[in-house]
Structure 1
Amino acid sequence: MADFFFYGTLRHVPLLQLVLGRAQGALTVSAATLADHGVFRLGDEPFPHFASVPGAVATGILLHDVSEDEANRLRFYEGGFAYRLREVSVRAETGDMVPALVFYPDTVDQATERAWSLPDWERDWAEISLCAAAEAMAWYGRKSAEEMTLAFPGMRRRASALVAGRKRQADPDRDLSRDVRVAAHHHPYTKFFSMQEIDVQVRQYDGGMSDVLNRAAILVGEAAVVLPYDPRRDCVLLIEQFRAPVFMTGDPAPWVWEPVAGLLEPGEPPEVAARREALEEAGLAFGRLEPVGGMYSSTGSSTEYLHLFVGLADLAGNVTGTGGTDEGEDIRSKVISYDALMQGIDAGAYKDMPLVTTALWLARHRGRLRGTA
């Protein structure tokens, strides 16, 4: 059995327990330090970056008696972040120098002046990281660490959405701990999105519990949707792109007109995501964002939660859609009058639910927006 030294997020004991698969309180850890190394932040990234710094000391913990299976679980988890094991000598809390295994990044970053803080990370990111790690470790033994490298950004987005969902208002008439019983949780698929299943019993309206039901959902994350509107010119901007799900259902017109939209990055406020996506997809900068509401896009099949906005913008001249080149997006845009938009909705020309929803909200508030333009 080997000893491991951790200097970053795995110093957070609940995360370490989850990755190892150990029961609560079953860890044997002690304080330790690694000479000539530092743990830093780069930019706005919340995660630690390891650097070789002569004279510096990296503080961490020493995990004792790690079994071979636990070591493999650690390799699987850290391998997803392109970390590899290296043997070093660390100073134990007794003052003795002892051998330990440390996960090093493939590329050791240069030091910055900003030290990474475990308490700050625990305050802002621990809950999201625990949710993401739970999904990741459900794939241990079924996927490689390299496959997890590609899947983990989506897991973090879904984890952030899960944490946000937990903070929404509870149903005052129901107690989830009493009224919903989950017998099993399955993870049959994960990539950009995730498909998960549960075997569940739910309290019925007659007071009894249902039979065990198998239910599935596509786990997506949260998204920001914004319909650009120019109140002076009384026109909106729409974007069009190919939508694979529409094609896969057999629809002969899979190029769909929509508002600007995109998934929230972990910890990103919806308003920030809306402005970012508008710049990326249409080259637009909004003056004011008008909140339309928050809602699930399809409660029977998807976890996607939409933050809807109407964004006030100057739509004069040519507006060119570009899309995110790293996501394979191919987008075109057009500016149409408000009257043309509503005529198209009445004629059933638009099949995107967020577009119809934001347009109907605009119909209710158009007078106010034009009056304050």
Structure 2
Amino acid sequence: MADLFFFGTLRHTPLLELVLGRSGDALNALSAKLPGHGVYQVAGQPFPAIEERQGATAEGVLVQDLSPADLDALNFYEGGFGYALKPVTVQLADGGSAGAEVYFPEPGLWQTEEPWDLAAWVDEWGALSLRAAEEVMAYHGRMSAEEVARSFPSIRRRAAAWLAGQARPGDGVHDLSRDVIVHNHNRAYLNFFAMEEMDLQFRRYDGSMSPVMNRACSMAGHAAVVLPYDPVRDQVLLVEQFRAPPFMMGDAHPWMWEPVAGVIDPGETAEETARREAVEEAGVTVLHLEPVARGYPSSGALAEFIHIFIGIADLSDVSGGGGVAGEGEDIRSRTLSYEEMMEGIDAQTYQDMPLVTAALWLSRHRERLRAEHS
């Protein structure tokens, strides 16, 4: 049996319960402190790290008598992020002391900032971390901790997208607690994207429940799409890049002309993503965003929710772009007249549906935009 001192996110009981797969009421947990150590926010990450600091004291919880299965689950959850157990002596609330182990990061792994606050973390990141941990722990025993850790940024994005979906209002007609029954949920594949499948029933229009059906989808998350438009010059900017899915479908033309697009990171708005991606992919500074549409581009197969914008810009001043090399992007851009783009739309030259959507919206609002920005 093992005794562990938790100083960070696993002090949040719902997260610890999820990782261990059992109730916190069954745990032998005590409030404890680790003198000579502090808990600090990791720069650019939604979690803390513990460091030796003279005069500091790390608040936490000591959980005793953890089983080998508990330890295996905890090592899986923490092990992919460069954390390893080390022995310490903690102080208990009654004035006594106890031996324990703590997950310490590899030296120099993280750059830390201000002291970390558990309550503030729960408010901002608690729900997202719980959703992300569900996906992580679904692969316990199927993948290594390191393999899952490589996919953790996209896991967080999917968790943020799921929470955003939960926050959107329902249709006022269906009650999902009664009108959809999930019999089995299988997370089948994990990488940058994920594949999930469910055995489920839904309520039919005659009031009966459907037969149990197996359905699967590709889990992508949320994305922002922006078509840069210069109303003064009446020009748009498109980007072209190789797209593997059309190639895998056997398409003879897998290099696609598209608007600028990118996945929305947790804590980032769709508008912020659109502006960031315009600079990264096309070297364009967006001056103003016009919302076009938001929704699912292929609701029968793809769990992706996209936000489409027209980005008002000065296309005489385009510099940089080309994508992020570290993400495998190789992008070129082209500026063309509005009329030339619409000729391509009418000729069905373009295969990217968000581009078609943005172009058709622009055709309805172009005169207003030109008048407003002349």
Distance 2:113 2:124 in 1: 21
* Correspondence 1:233 to 2:241: no
Distance 2:244 2:280 in 1: 21
Distance 2:204 2:85 in 1: 52
Partner of 2:296: 296
Q: Deviations over 1:246-302 (max 9, x none)?
A: 000001000000000000111211111111111111111111111112111110001
* Correspondence 1:85 to 2:85: yes
Distance 1:42 1:141 in 2: 28
Distance 1:107 1:223 in 2: 35
Q: Deviations over 1:85-109 (max 9, x none)?
A: 1111111222212111110111356
Distance 2:35 2:331 in 1: 51
Distance 1:215 1:75 in 2: 32
Amino acid at match of 1:123: D
Cα distance change on mapping 1:364 and 1:231 into 2, 3 Å: same
* Correspondence 1:35 to 2:22: no
Partner of 1:189: 189
Distance 1:24 1:213 in 2: 35
Amino acid at match of 1:23: S
Written as runs of structure 1 = structure 2, the 5 A alignment for 1:1-373 is 1-23=1-23, 25-108=25-108, 114-316=114-316, 319-373=319-373
Q: CA shift at 1:318, angstroms? A: 5.2
Q: CA shift at 1:2, angstroms? A: 1.2
Distance 1:70 1:244 in 2: 40
Cα distance change on mapping 1:190 and 1:178 into 2, 3 Å: same
Distance 1:299 1:338 in 2: 30
> % of aligned pairs identical?
53
More moved, 315-324 vs 279-288: 315-324
Normalized against structure 1, the TM-score is what? 0.97
Corresponding residue SS for 1:304: strand
Q: Unpaired segments of 5 or more residues in structure 2?
A: none
Q: Deviations over 1:302-332 (max 9, x none)?
A: 1100011111111015555310111110000
Q: CA shift at 1:44, angstroms? A: 4.5
Distance 2:67 2:178 in 1: 38
Runs (4+) off by over 4 Å: 108-113, 317-320
Q: Deviations over 1:178-233 (max 9, x none)?
A: 11000000111001000000000111111111111000011101001000000000
Cα distance change on mapping 1:113 and 1:244 into 2, 3 Å: closer
Distance 2:293 2:26 in 1: 45
Verify the 8 A CA contact 2:279 2:321 in the aligned structure 1.
no
Verify the 8 A CA contact 1:51 1:108 in the aligned structure 2.
no
Distance 1:73 1:217 in 2: 27
Q: CA shift at 1:43, angstroms? A: 3.8
Q: CA shift at 1:23, angstroms? A: 2.9
Distance 2:90 2:108 in 1: 18
Distance 1:183 1:345 in 2: 44
Amino acid at match of 2:250: G
Higher strand content, 1 or 2: 2
Q: CA shift at 1:155, angstroms? A: 0.8
Amino acid at match of 2:119: P
Q: Deviations over 1:112-147 (max 9, x none)?
A: 662111111100111110010000000001111111
Alignment: residue pair count: 373
Amino acid at match of 1:76: F
Q: CA shift at 1:40, angstroms? A: 1.2
More moved, 194-203 vs 107-116: 107-116
Q: Unpaired segments of 5 or more residues in structure 1?
A: none
Cα distance change on mapping 1:219 and 1:38 into 2, 3 Å: same
Distance 1:102 1:112 in 2: 18
Verify the 8 A CA contact 2:43 2:113 in the aligned structure 1.
no
Verify the 8 A CA contact 2:289 2:310 in the aligned structure 1.
yes
Distance 1:108 1:38 in 2: 16
Cα distance change on mapping 1:110 and 1:273 into 2, 3 Å: closer
Verify the 8 A CA contact 1:319 1:333 in the aligned structure 2.
no
Distance 1:166 1:250 in 2: 36
Corresponding residue SS for 1:146: helix
Normalized against structure 2, the TM-score is what? 0.97
